[in-house]
Chains A and B, each alone.
Chain A
Amino acid sequence: MVHREIEMLRVRANEIRKDIIRMLGRAGSGHPGGSLSAADIVAALYFKVLRIDPQNPRRPDRDRFILSKGHAAPVLYAALAQRGFFPREELDTLRRLGSRLQGHPDMKKLPGVEMSTGSLGQGLSVANGVALAGKLDGLDYRVYVLLGDGEIQEGQVWEAAMAAAHYKLDNLTAFLDHNRMQIDGPIEKVMSPEPVPDKWRAFGWDVQVIDGHDMAGILRALEKAGSVKGKPQMIVAETVKGKGVSFMENQVGWHGVAPKPGEVERALAELGDRGPVEGEG
């Protein structure tokens, strides 16, 4: 049963990747690299872990996922649409005038979006606030947040890291999409945040390092994180920017450029042909 479930989640991640490519192709602009690198994590959350109800997206006791690296909006939109928060056809409206699918997630417009993000470095603070409120209200929801490894160059992230540990927010799990790239190049060249796991540990977090494309590993890490008491948890996910589309993988140039029609076809053929994306490990 577990094996079948993992297989189902891999297929789901692949479907999310295909939607990312399609919607970016139609929009003509947007961010494929960091959307694709996060697809397996997001698939695990939305199709296995999060306690959410698309019919009742504002239930007070729902789990929350905050996409702090808001430029990866397509991965969130694909998951929300496939999970039933809005019609999948609406993905075609990405970045168009009047669309609920803004270039970066807008919680005022689209059901299922827990926080308006896009300005990097702000999501963890918000996640802290939601986690604090859960503790105050005695609700057992969990808060998940996804950060970019370039994003953590922002000072606010470390203010928030300190505060989450200070307030013992064990209902908070963060993922770091450790794809080692940002806009201007490799993070180690632009401004190294390494060693990343040590830094989070030093800030008082429970830290795991996993292969961010290995579905079984992602699920194991989430389960382990859920049993940690008294500490927020960081799951450093080793990922590949552009994962799943050969010509985008590890290419800085695919951070914020949409695929052209021919490229869309090639990407979809790769994703379609290969079926579910296999884990690295």
Chain B
Amino acid sequence: MAGKTATREAYGKALAELGKLNGRVVVLDADLSKSTKTADFAGVFPDRFFNMGIAEQNMIGTAAGLASAGKIPFASTFAVFAAGRAFEQIRNSVAYAGLNVKIAATHAGVTVGEDGGSHQSVEDIALMRSLPSMTVFVPADEAETFGAVRAAAEMEGPVYIRLGRAGVPPVHGDGFRFVPGKAVVLREGRDAAVIAAGIMVSAALEAASVLAGEGIECRVLSMHTVKPLDVEAVVAAARETGALVTAEEHSVIGGLGGAVCEAVCGNFPVPVKRVGLPDVFGESGKPEELLEKFGLTPSGIAAAVREAIKMKAGVKG
């Protein structure tokens, strides 16, 4: 397998590259630029980088002001503090105001590891997805991160990009092109479909290989855009496989799983099993240990697929 890269690392590189292409791009951080990797941009474009100190609410408001004057601000901190601390600033000063602010939040989910539950955002997708006009990207690897950053800069309006601390293997080949709002089918299959985002995409691919050994052919989708959701791809997966599993490093409430359930229940109801944190906070531990504990693993996904297929049979029978 090719080397692993954390999506935050990819973000740092993508942002520094974007800075060259687009002079309107400015970057804000809240004393975490080494961790969020906005330091890469700051090193090349010190005049377009603003460290706002440990003051996330003001950082988001300042980004809104910069956007209203024609800049394309990327504001970064950990997901807990971006989506959480500054939620109402994002709601009112950014989304309600219709301003072109990009929030790139790193250290999402339990792979934050040892810092523990206070730092592991398991609710940020739910929060951001609930805001009218907000686009939510959850890239799975370096290529998707580059695509998401580029797309965010090109589109008008608020965008939330969810990034991780831990390294992830590439899930795409060379020809990959990131199209906002379009899920990517990474593997075909008719028995069930796994719809995954972020670090869970590579886990879903592993699960699909294991299941193939049991004669279960599983479709795998990378849903890098959680909002607007690719409802067409979700409904096609429901129609063509009859059993869905969602996988995300987030609470089972309100995230990708919630979005997929909302999409199928009104269009083509089929059983949906959601892999994610079962309405609990994270805790300290090694990232792999935490993923294991919460079943955010290939075997956890495979088990959910088998259950979904059983439910489908039950519904049919």
Contact = CB atoms under 8 A, between A and B. Distances in A.
Interface residues of B, number: 30
A126 interface: yes
A119 interface: yes
Given A125-B65, A129-B69, A156 B57 contact: yes
B61 A122 contact: yes
A108 B97 contact: yes
A151 to B, nearest CB: 13
Contacts of A132: 50, 62, 65-66
B53 interface: yes
A129 B62 contact: yes
Contact of A156 (B26, B73, B89, B97): B89
A176 B69 CA distance: 24
A129 B92 contact: no
Interface stretch (A14-22, A72-80, A160-168, A227-235): A160-168
Interface string B46-68: 01101011010111111111111
Interface stretch (A93-101, A110-118, A242-250): A110-118
A134 interface: yes
B71 interface: yes
Nearest to B68: A130
A4 B28 CA distance: 47
B176 interface: no
B97 A125 contact: no
Nearest to A141: B69
A167 B93 CA distance: 21
A124 to B, nearest CB: 8
Contact of B58 (A107, A134, A163): A163
B50 A167 contact: yes
Nearest to A160: B58
A129 B26 CA distance: 11
24 contacts: A60-B69, A60-B70, A107-B97, A115-B65, A115-B68, A115-B97, A116-B92, A118-B92, A119-B92, A119-B93, A122-B61, A125-B57, A125-B64, A126-B64, A126-B65, A127-B65, A128-B62, A131-B65, A132-B66, A133-B65, A133-B69, A137-B70, A160-B58, A167-B50
